[in-house]
């Protein structure tokens, strides 16, 4: 499968498994409530746990009503792309389907050029780990297929991934 096919499937509100810069993720469009609900169902995830959202650039934060102050913006430009996820406060009823009443969302710009290119074409993607809730994240497509079988629309194989998860930081009061 090629990136063009992945982009086409995602734009049509499909979901699938692809490598991020840390582990395989179960991905779909962050802007689609239908996609979000499908991923919760396929992953068997508790409905009150928000998903990580992957961005292609710092400017994508504006799509989620986040406008970092100059100092924070400069900090983000230094650490992203990279394996650092940032939790931002969110006070938006429009985004309730994403934050699930937690009033915060977690974002990362992956340190993977191909993935950033895909996101630049599709828009931000939710990307929880590719596993069923409380199971080990899939390290390869064979494991992911054991979890999801035909419940997802694509598998983008890039071999075995055994990397550490991202570091998580939280923004409070700017």
pLDDT reported for residue 166: 81
Mean pLDDT of 95-116: 94
Rounded to whole angstroms, how far apart are CA atoms 170 and 87?
Answer: 4
- Tokens 């570091």 found at: 167
Mean pLDDT of 52-68: 95
pLDDT reported for residue 33: 96
Rounded to whole angstroms, how far apart are CA atoms 69 and 72?
Answer: 5
What is the chain's mean pLDDT, rounded? 93
- Tokens 């995602």 found at: 10
| CATH class of residue range 3-170 | alpha beta
Mean pLDDT of 56-62: 95
Q: Where are the domains of the chain?
A: 3-170
pLDDT reported for residue 157: 87
pLDDT reported for residue 63: 95
pLDDT reported for residue 174: 62
Rounded to whole angstroms, how far apart are CA atoms 105 and 37?
Answer: 16
pLDDT digits (tens, 9 = 90+) for 5-31: 999 999 999 999 999 988 899 999 999
pTM, rounded to two decimals? 0.94
Rounded to whole angstroms, how far apart are CA atoms 143 and 146?
Answer: 5
The β-bridge partners of 168 are 85
Rounded to whole angstroms, how far apart are CA atoms 174 and 171?
Answer: 6
Greatest C-alpha distance within the chain: 45
Determine the straight-line distance between the first and last CA of the chain, rounded to whole angstroms. Answer: 42
Nearest to 15 by CA among 23, 2, 25: 25
């Amino acid at each position: 499968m090629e990136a063009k096919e992945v982009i086409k499937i995602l734009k049509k509100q499909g979901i699938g498994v692809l490598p991020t810069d840390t582990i395989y993720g179960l991905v779909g469009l962050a802007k689609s409530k239908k996609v979000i609900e499908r991923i919760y169902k396929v992953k068997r995830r508790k409905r009150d746990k928000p998903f990580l959202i992957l961005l292609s650039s710092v400017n994508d934060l504006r799509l989620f009503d986040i406008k970092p102050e100059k100092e924070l913006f400069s900090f983000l430009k230094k650490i992203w792309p990279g394996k650092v996820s940032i939790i931002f406060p969110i006070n938006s009823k429009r985004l309730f389907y994403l934050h699930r009443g937690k009033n915060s969302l977690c974002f990362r710009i992956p340190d993977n050029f191909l993935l950033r290119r895909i996101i630049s074409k599709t828009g931000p993607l939710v990307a929880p780990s590719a596993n069923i809730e409380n199971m080990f994240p899939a390290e390869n497509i064979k494991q992911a297929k054991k979890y999801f079988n035909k419940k997802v629309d694509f598998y983008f194989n890039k071999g075995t991934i055994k990397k550490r998860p991202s570091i998580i930081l939280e923004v409070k009061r700017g």
